[in-house]
């Protein structure tokens, strides 16, 4: 009994810091969302105002596209890369390091570089496509309503697939050689090995990584904000950027808080699944 209370005492400082850094902002955001800028309670007015804004539904659907598009390609590309990097070939160490580069480059640097490369007039991508005649006219990658969001997703995929690859690669390397040998004795081809040995073995890793990616995509600001600020005409506006713009550009902290609270509800659901899955994995592996 005595020992238990001493334990609490030791944990207390950490709990206090956590409380100040996490619980307080969350609670304060909740309070902001139901008050006006003078601090008077206004009920659900902020929620009504922000839900009535023209940008909100646009941002919601953009976020959906953004998350789904990013995750699917990140995971598929990441897993394929991991399988490739798991093979034995010359220069494997170099290829493994090079693959990591997009993930290591700071987001803002990557975004600014991509913005320059994609510029209609002086971007290298249009230059490379028009010079040999692949395209007749330069494409307005960032100004054409139908290309801008896919381009953002592509940049996000490029940025994050190395992370998936490294995590899955770690999982692949922990697969016991016995399984491969057993499969080979049964006459399995390479792709059958992938399908019946590798993927089932790294499934827990893929699930955990996917949920992490969903959380990161939901919170994402850097790439889109640095390149388009959510434009043109809100074509790339996703909810986190709408929250940022409402709070820090329009100085409507209360409406931004209301939107954050709703967004928090969605994010916490994903986090809940993440914790349950990872806890399940830990239990299964024991």
Partner 1 sequence: MFAFREEVMRVFKTAAILGLTVSGLALSAGWANAGEVTWWTPNFNEARARELAEKFQAANPDITINLEITTTDGLPQRILTALRSGSAPDIIDVQHGWVNGYAQNDLVVPLDDVVTEREDYVPAALNYVTWNDQLWALPYRIETHAIIYNKGDFVAAGLDPANPPQTWEEFIAAAEAMTKDGKSGFAVTGGGEVGNTIFRSLPFIWMAGGAIISDDGTEVLVNSPETVRAVQFYTDFYKNGISPSSTLENDGTANRRLFIAETVSMYQSGQFDINSIRQENPDIDVGVMTIPHPEGADTAAILGGWSLVLPTDAKNPEDAKKFLAFLGETESQAVLTDTFPARVSAMSAERFNDPILEVFKEMLPYGRPVPSHPNWVQISQAYFDGIQRILLGDEDVQTAMDGVAADIEALL
Residue numbers at the binding site for partner 1 (CB under 8 A): 52, 54-55, 119-122, 137-138, 140, 142-143, 145, 228-229, 231-235, 245, 248-252
The separation between CA 159 and the C-alpha centre of its own chain, rounded to angstroms, equals 10
Report the residue number, 138 or 204, with the smaller CB distance to partner 1.
138
Report the residue number, 116 or 195, with the smaller CB distance to partner 1.
116
CB of 37 to partner 1, least distance (A): 10
In angstroms, the CA 32 to CA 139 distance is: 44
Report the residue number, 71 or 237, with the smaller CB distance to partner 1.
237
Secondary structure letter of residue 235 according to DSSP: T
Q: Which helix (H) or strand (E) holds 31?
A: helix 24-33
In angstroms, the CA 255 to CA 272 distance is: 26
CB of 139 to partner 1, least distance (A): 9
The alpha carbons of the chain give a radius of gyration, in whole angstroms, of 23
Task: Report the interhelical angle of 199-218 vs 148-173 (nearest 10°).
Answer: 140
Report helix, strand or coil for 189.
Answer: coil
Report the residue number, 144 or 277, with the smaller CB distance to partner 1.
144
Neighbours of 259 (CB within 10 A): 26
CB of 249 to partner 1, least distance (A): 6
Give me the phi and psi of 153, to 5 degrees please. -65, -40
**Contact assessment for residue 138 and residue 121, using Cβ atoms and an 8 Å cutoff:** yes
Report the residue number, 126 or 210, with the smaller CB distance to partner 1.
126
Report the residue number, 233 or 279, with the smaller CB distance to partner 1.
233
CB of 137 to partner 1, least distance (A): 8
Nearest to 244 by CA among 233, 256, 235: 256
Report helix, strand or coil for 167.
Answer: helix
Report helix, strand or coil for 35.
Answer: strand
CB of 231 to partner 1, least distance (A): 6
CB of 145 to partner 1, least distance (A): 5
């Amino acid at each position: 009994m005595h020992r238990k209370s001493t334990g609490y005492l030791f944990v207390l400082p950490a709990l206090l810091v956590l409380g100040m850094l996490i619980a307080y902002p969350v609670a304060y955001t909740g309070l902001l969302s139901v008050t006006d800028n003078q601090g008077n309670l206004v009920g659900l007015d902020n929620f009504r105002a922000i839900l009535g804004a023209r940008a909100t539904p646009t941002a919601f659907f953009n976020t959906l596209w953004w998350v789904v598009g990013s995750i699917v390609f990140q995971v598929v590309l990441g897993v394929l890369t991991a399988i490739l990097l798991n093979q034995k070939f010359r220069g494997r160490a170099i290829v493994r390091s090079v693959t990591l580069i997009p993930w290591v480059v700071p987001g803002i640097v990557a975004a600014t570089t991509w913005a320059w490369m994609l510029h209609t007039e002086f971007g290298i991508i249009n230059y490379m496509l028009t010079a040999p005649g692949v395209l007749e006219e330069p494409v307005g990658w960032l100004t054409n309503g139908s290309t801008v969001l896919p381009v953002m997703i592509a940049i996000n995929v490029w940025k994050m697939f190395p992370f998936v690859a490294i995590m899955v690669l770690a999982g692949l390397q922990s697969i016991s050689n016995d399984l491969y040998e057993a499969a080979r004795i049964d006459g399995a081809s390479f792709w059958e090995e992938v399908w019946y040995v590798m993927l089932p073995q790294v499934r827990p890793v893929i699930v955990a990584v996917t949920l992490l990616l969903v959380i990161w995509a939901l919170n994402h600001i850097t790439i889109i904000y640095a390149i388009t600020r959510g434009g043109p005409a809100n074509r790339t506006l996703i909810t986190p950027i709408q929250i940022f713009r409402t709070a820090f550009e329009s100085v409507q902290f209360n409406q931004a808080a209301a939107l954050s609270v709703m967004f928090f509800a969605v994010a916490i659901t994903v986090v809940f699944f993440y914790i349950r899955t990872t806890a399940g994995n830990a239990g299964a592996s024991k």
